[in-house]
Amino acid sequence: MRIVGLLLAAGLGSRYDPSGRSLKLLQPVTSGPQAGLPIAQAAARTLAAAGIRCFAVVRPLDDPHQTELHALLRSEGCEFVVCEQAAAGMGASLACGVRATEDADGWIVALGDMPMIAPATVIRVVAALRAGHTAVAPTWQGRRGHPVGFAAACREELLHLQGDHGARDVLAAHPPHLIDVDDPGILTDIDHS
Q: CA 110, CA 6: separation in Å to the nearest integer?
A: 6
pLDDT(21) > 60:
no
Residue 56 carries which side chain, given as an amino acid letter? A
Q: CA 1, CA 131: separation in Å to the nearest integer?
A: 10
CA–CA distances in Å: residue 134 to residues 56, 148, 180: 22, 11, 17
At 22-69, the pLDDT tens digits run: 689 999 999 888 899 999 999 999 999 999 999 999 998 877 788 999
Which of 182, 174, 191 is CA-nearest to residue 145? 182
SS3 113: coil
At 76-133, the pLDDT tens digits run: 999 999 999 998 999 999 999 999 999 999 999 999 999 999 999 999 999 999 999 9
What pLDDT does 12 receive? 60
What pLDDT does 18 receive? 46
Contact between 68 and 26 under an 8 Å Cβ cutoff? The reply is yes
Signed CA dihedral, 12, 86, 92, 70: sign only: negative
Structural domains in the chain plus CATH codes: 3-192 (3.90.550.10)
